[in-house]
Amino acid sequence: MGVPLLEVHEVSRLFPVRGTRRWLHAVDGVSLSVMPGECVGLVGESGCGKSTLVRLIARLLDPTGGRIVFDGRDIGTVPAWRFARAAERAWIQMVFQDPVDSLNPRFTAFDTIADPLRRLGVAPERPRLRDRVWEAADLVGLSRELLGRFPHQLSGGQQQRVAIARAIAVRPRLLLLDEPTSALDVSVQVVILHLLADLQQKLGMTYLFVSHDLNLVRLLSNRVLVMYCGRIVEAGPAEAVFNRPDHPYTRALLSAVPVVDPGERRPRIRLAGEPRSPVEPPATVCRFYGRCPEGFERCEREMPALRPIDRDHQVACHLFESRPGTTLGE
Amino acid sequence: MSETAPLLTVEDLSVEFRTRDGIVRAVDRVSFDVRWGETVGVVGESGSGKSVTALAIMGLLHPAGRVTDGRVIFRGVDLLAGGEGQRRRYRGRELSMIFQSPRTALNPIRPVGKQIEDVVRRHADLAGTRARDRALGLLAEVQIPDPGRSYQAYPFELSGGVCQRVMIAMAVACVPALLIADEPATGLDVTTQAAILDLLKQFAQERRMATLLISHDLAVIGERSDRIVVMHAGHVVEMARTAELFRAPRHPYTARLIASTPRPGATLGDLKPIPGGVPDLRGNLPPCRYRARCDRAIPACDEPPLPRVELTPGHTVACRVPL
């Protein structure tokens, strides 16, 4: 095992709840690590904190607590406003969900891709700048004739290519993909997924891929993190998590994924009720308790920690703490 | 009313939109039927005409849109011939619709319970406390926790899943014979999506309610429909029973669509994109609108009309060179 590219230690982010003195725990004591060259999938329902976590890692938001270490450097202490102009900004880039919202409507494709190159001083002037923009456009398969167009003159797939070109133009080491294909049609979605896989190979980038579509995460990721109510509840190799999910929440989540082939369908696990409120949740109760079909008395007394149950596979659930026959390591 | 005749028959329905850049032929000679109690799935990419077809059936087209041809026969009555007054008699009572974004479809400044009550008052002829009781009963039927409190809530106070349940409560208030569900679970989480689709299925079974389920997601359609209508660029390209469609798709577009949909066990290499895009629906279009994207096209494909071949009973395809 090498050195992780990204290490997140016990990171939290609280938001004040308007009109009260209470705090919303969007991300609550999350630890994770990402190895160079990996694609790590992050899944969970809306409101589980996955977007906040990604914005913390992208350094668009400041953490309330914890450390964010990138390639051995603590980048969590640099305030977000200063990080925007720091040299480290080029290391971590992001592709957002909806290209219509994430592209400036008054910038041509060329200016969009050139913007980070100019701002970060990577290639401040033409002709160097032009070469870098062309190079990025070529990498994402965007023909150079389209570079003079504005977003509304491009198709959805072309817009997302511009957004990807902008992100990779500064040669990031970590690319954060926040639902990069959910605004696209299936036929275009496949093209963008192939493009992302190719780029990862060509440029040796590391991906953190966020999606609520588990079928997609499965296609691209080596490892998967499952988030529920601000915490990671299961982490492990994609194959293991998808084929033999352990945490009751992961099992319920996977059983809800629509499957075309009737032979592939799993029995549905229905969750009762609504998720727990993330506003100052009790620190000693498992966040999934109450909805969990297997909850028992201990879950109400003690928050389960994320513990290894197998090589590289961790689960935060009391069910697995004394599971017989579990051997760690080889 | 005989129950062997289809509940809904759409026959050669064509819809055009007038825009500044010319006439868009959004739906062209679309035909299919829905039988009593069955769930028919309509699948296609954006711009395939699935929502326009639904809105034309409901008589809710945008003023720029116009039905140029065809018939929509619901319980033996042609809804297009009868005018708005006749449509109103069916709409909301026997024919209902739910939409993709429930929060925008609901009135933002009226408590959701009141909105359900409005439907009940108008279409079920209930008044006073009886209307209110019925609304509360419906909230419970769509499994919204604490109906009394939810009754007073405004849409912004409720989650997307709960708003969609409110929409369903309004749609099923008068026990419709047909519910049109246009992307009812798109944009919701997988668990919520599954719960909403389960709820629709439960109503369909308990009340023998037929459902026209519209989605871009082939997996959702495949899991929930008895029969599937595949649309592309305003045409119905294929129609078959669900299992048969997936086992032996006959239209090249259907095969491509299946091959591009992620499924368990498939790797990225197994997924094949569909070449080209949906054609511009303005101006002169070839008889087969898939022609430019198709790798099986022959010169005869350029000759009108677009064929509609019934290959086996119930399995039709609009292609000269089916797979």
User: B273: which chain A residues are within 8 Å (Cβ-Cβ)?
Assistant: 187-188, 190-191, 194
Please list the ranges in chain B whose pLDDT falls under 50: 1-2
pLDDT score, position B160: 85
Q: Which of A186, A257, A260 sits opposite B222 (nearest CB)?
A: A260
**Could you tell me how many CB contacts below 8 A there are between chain A and chain B?**
108
Identify the DSSP state of B36.
T
- Boundaries of every domain in chain A: 37-63+71-226
Q: Which of A100, A199, A213, A257 to mutate to test the interface with B (most CBs of B within 10 A)?
A: A257
pLDDT tens per residue across span A105-119: 999 999 999 999 998
Across the interface, do A193 and B190 touch by the CB < 8 Å criterion?
no
Q: What domains appear along chain B, each with residue ranges and CATH number?
A: 1-83+212-286+302-323 (3.40.50.300)
Across the interface, do A268 and B194 touch by the CB < 8 Å criterion?
yes
pLDDT score, position A330: 34
pLDDT score, position B252: 96
Average pLDDT, chain B: 91
Task: Give how far B19 is from chain A: nearest CA, Å.
Answer: 17
With a threshold of 0.85, tell me whether the complex ipTM lies above it.
no
pLDDT score, position B214: 96
pLDDT score, position A47: 83
pLDDT score, position A58: 94
Q: Which residue of A has its CA nearest to B274?
A: A187
Q: Which residue of B has its CA nearest to A196?
A: B268
- Check residues A99 and B40 and name the one with the higher pLDDT: B40
- Look at residue A78 and tell me whether its pLDDT is greater than 50: yes
CATH architecture of A37-63+71-226: 3-Layer(aba) Sandwich (3.40)
- Look at residue A327 and tell me whether its pLDDT is greater than 50: no
pLDDT score, position B64: 92
Q: A residues 242-281 near B, CB within 8 Å?
A: 242, 252-253, 256-262, 264-265, 268, 270-271, 273-274
pLDDT score, position A1: 58
Task: Give how far A274 is from chain B: nearest CA, Å.
Answer: 9
Task: Give how far A120 is from chain B: nearest CA, Å.
Answer: 34
- Secondary structure of chain A in HEC code, one letter for each residue: CCCCCEEEEEEEEEEECCCCCCEEEEEEEEEEEECCCCEEEEECCCCCCHHHHHHHHCCCCCCCEEEEEECCEECCCCCHHHHCCCHHHHCEEEECCCHHHHCCCCCCHHHHHHHHHHHCCCCCCCCHHHHHHHHHHHHCCCCHHHHHCCHHHCCHHHHHHHHHHHHHCCCCCEEEEECCCCCCCHHHHHHHHHHHHHHHHHHCCEEEEECCCHHHHHHHCCEEEEEECCEEEEEEEHHHHHHCCCCHHHHHHHHCCCCCCHHHCCCCCCCCCCCCCCECCCCCCCCCCCCCCCCCHHHHCCCCCCEEEECCEEECCHHHCCCCCCCCCC
Q: Which of A186, A193, A197 sits opposite B261 (nearest CB)?
A: A186
pLDDT tens per residue across span B93-119: 899 999 888 888 899 999 999 999 999
